[in-house]
Amino acid sequence: MSTVLVEGGPDAGAIWHFGEPNAEQKVLLAGKGWVNLSHKSIISISGEDRLSWLQAITTQDFENVTQDVWSGALILDAQGHISHQFIFMEDGESVWIVTEKDKEAELIAYLEKMKFMFRVEIKNKSGEFALVRTPGQPDEFGGPFKLFSRGEFESFRNQILKDYKEVGIWALEAERVAAGRARILFETDHKAIPNELGMLGREVNMNKGCYPGQETVAKINNLGQPPRRLTLLHLDGSAVEMPGLGEKVFDGDKEVGFLGTSIRHHELGPIALAVIKRSVPISNTLIVKGVSANQEPISST
């Protein structure tokens, strides 16, 4: 079995695949695979005010979360732009947040700045805990997930390998792209708002009270459409190398957006997520680094 690691970017050091990416995708989608996500950042928030505090500063309804169930949330700036995206789980004593390693320091600094007089304690637990995408059918946040202490992880790995196959994050990313789920640092830029990325009703609870950026989210949702949209691209497969992250997307000679994640899917072939101007007709064939791409709408955007 040939293990290939991710060389750069937010997933650097993670296992990309074990030599059979197509087979690994099939195993994961069948609910028979698991993924080591120990490169992710783990933050714990304890203290009796943790839920009401997170309720006030994030897009999710923390005061009505279901214990031990993973969900997702965003932190927006005052203009509604996405600053942070994370998954989380409340276990009755702490909220466990999982975010990108590249965003860890920035998120912790923000949370510490927002503590004020709230009774909360923020700890970086990345060195003590590891996240696993466990076997099972994919949910709306890319799970199911489970946290393990670093000491428990090897015991878990040895036990689960008897019945399930470990797969690389290629399989997980292929599932995410095909499902049309945006990921921070990939399908976001400094202008990104949740309305254009299919996050309303998922990472953004539309029935909760005030939080930073809510006015922008509500106004665009109620009165109009965002200027851009997330779209799934089916690349023509003519290029040996896939177009890379951040490549410009063109409609004829006109630049209309940027490319997010591109990946080869075991059934769909070369696919990608892109953020493009909403005014571009869905029927138009787009061009990315000389490669033509047909659009497929993502229903939630």
User: Could you read off the pLDDT of 82-101 as tens digits, one per residue?
Assistant: 999 999 999 999 999 999 99
What does pTM read for this prediction?
A: 0.95
Q: Are strands 33-36 and 165-166 parallel, antiparallel or unpaired?
A: parallel
Is residue 20 within 8 Å of residue 169, measured between CB atoms?
no
For the cut 70, the answer to whether the pLDDT of residue 300 exceeds it is no
Kindly indicate the confidence band of residue 200, based on its pLDDT and cuts at 50, 70 and 90: very high
Averaged over 113-139, what is the pLDDT?
96
Distance CA 273, CA 231 (A): 6
Averaged over 233-253, what is the pLDDT?
91
Mean pLDDT, the chain, whole residue set: 95
| Contact partners, residue 220, CB within 8 Å, separation at least 6 | 80, 193, 195, 226
Question: Which tokens is 180 given?
Answer: 């049309």
pLDDT at 209: 81
For the cut 90, the answer to whether the pLDDT of residue 162 exceeds it is no
Kindly indicate the confidence band of residue 301, based on its pLDDT and cuts at 50, 70 and 90: low
More confident residue, 55 or 238: 55
Amino acid at 128: E
Averaged over 142-152, what is the pLDDT?
94
Question: Which tokens is 228 given?
Answer: 């851009």
* Weakest-pLDDT range from 20-34, 60-74, 236-250: 236-250
Averaged over 204-209, what is the pLDDT?
91
Kindly indicate the confidence band of residue 193, based on its pLDDT and cuts at 50, 70 and 90: very high
How much of the chain, in percent, has pLDDT values that exceed 90?
89
pLDDT at 202: 95
Tens of pLDDT, residues 253-264? 999 999 999 999
Averaged over 2-31, what is the pLDDT?
96
Distance CA 59, CA 62 (A): 9
Tens of pLDDT, residues 19-53? 999 999 999 999 999 999 999 999 999 999 999 99
pLDDT at 224: 83
In the chain, the N- to C-terminal Cα span, in Å, equals 40
For the cut 80, the answer to whether the pLDDT of residue 238 exceeds it is no
* Weakest-pLDDT range from 57-66, 119-128, 158-167, 187-196: 158-167
Is residue 131 within 8 Å of residue 40, measured between CB atoms?
yes
Could you tell me which of 217, 221, 228 has the C-alpha nearest to residue 260? 228
Distance CA 294, CA 301 (A): 17
Q: What is the DSSP string of 217-239?
A: HHHHHHH---SEEEEEEEE---S
pLDDT at 237: 77
How much of the chain, in percent, has pLDDT values that exceed 70?
99
